[in-house]
Chains A and B, each alone.
Chain A
Amino acid sequence: MLNALTALICCQFAGEVIARAASLPLPGPVIGLLLLLAYLIARDRAPDRELTATSGWLLRHFGLLFVPAGVGVITQLDVLGDNWLPLLIAIPVSTLLGLLTTGWVMQRLSRTSEPDESGSKTS
């Protein structure tokens, strides 16, 4: 747990340093993700069990990690109140259109490359 958490935080740290040093438009954690992925590819062995377990634990609780930022909604209540109608329509409709576009284009273009093994179970 501790080793894995150290590795994840060090990747994020390195990502943050690279992002600032090269003034990239990407946030540190995303660069950290790429660094860890590059490391895993370069090593070309099954990732150690601890890292897999800790990552799985963090990802299963991803929703919790968004809660503090979400509560920030109370600082924006007046803006949301003044614009409730445009937001109530713009956010769901644009999200739906985005989902449909990406899902459809991806399935159309990848149909030829490889048959899908995972079935049609949807949440």
Chain B
Amino acid sequence: MEKLFTLWVYLETTPLLGLAATLLVWQAASAIAGRMGGIALANPMLISVCLLSALLLLTHTSYAAYFQGAQYVHFLLGPATVALALPMYANLSRIRRSARAILPALLTGSLVAAVSAMLIARLLGAPRIVVLSLAPKSVTTPIAMAVAEQIGGQPSLAAVFVLLTGLCAIVLIGPAMRVAGVSDMRAQGLAAGMAGHGLATARMLLVSETAGAFGGLAIGLNGVITAILVPLLATFLR
């Protein structure tokens, strides 16, 4: 028993535990999600986050200790974002042809998403820091955290909202596009990338490479739009 405890204490100090746990839980979650088939909420990412959070809380492990190992997975978000250049390049001629539609679609969508999130939260009595952290929730995590900090929100809270937003987008995009009669894969991909950043874009990439390319484009452009627009919106809120 004492030996086991010594082993645990040792493992807790190495990054190995957090890294192994993340990968193993992801494999298990993928298997579970695969079994549950088409249910959009049966998303391996959501299942992994729930399982790992429960594990950390049950074992009284701090997030900092977990992240010591998990950071190696987290780091790959950067190269993966860069990798979005490939589906974009493959669809370059298509993107060029609809360039005039892309900017208005992103501007209106970005504005609607940010304003409605802040207004609803404010009307329902959320404190200022929560409202401000909600504003950049549609964009990719690093931009959202930076913007949240700049306007007086809380970066780690913004990261959680980004994640929840991505999950919502995955669940809602199918029904939303059917209801609105949007069958164009370029429009679906653009909507996914604008509203649900990389998470929804990766999902659309499984359906169509065109959608993935427009999603990648939307992630980049909406990052710029949000970085400029949200600080302006936040000043109106004062």
Residues of A within 8 A of B (CB): 5, 8-9, 11-12, 15, 25-30, 32-34, 36-37, 40-41, 47, 51-52, 54-56, 58-76, 79-80, 83, 85-87, 89-111, 113-114, 116-123
Contact = CB atoms under 8 A, between A and B. Distances in A.
Contacts of A105: 101, 104-105, 108-109
A101 B194 CA distance: 10
A118 B208 contact: yes
B108 A102 contact: yes
Given A9-B79, A67-B70, A69-B141, A89 B120 contact: yes
A interface SS class: helix
B157 A59 contact: no
A89 B122 CA distance: 11
B41 interface: no
B160 A72 contact: yes
Count class of interface residues, chain B: 35 or more
Interface in B131-169: 134, 137-138, 140-143, 146-147, 154, 156-157, 159-161, 163-166, 168-169
Contacts of A123: 40, 170, 173-174, 203-204, 206-207
B42 interface: no
Nearest to B92: A41
A86 B85 contact: no
B57 A74 contact: yes
Contact of B176 (A69, A80, A96, A118): A96
Which of A29, A66, A85, A110 has the most chain B CB atoms inside 10 A of its CB? A66
A67 B48 CA distance: 7
Interface string B65-98: 0110011011011111111111111001010011
A29 to B, nearest CB: 4
A13 to B, nearest CB: 9
B233 to A, nearest CB: 13
B98 A37 contact: no
A58 B79 contact: yes
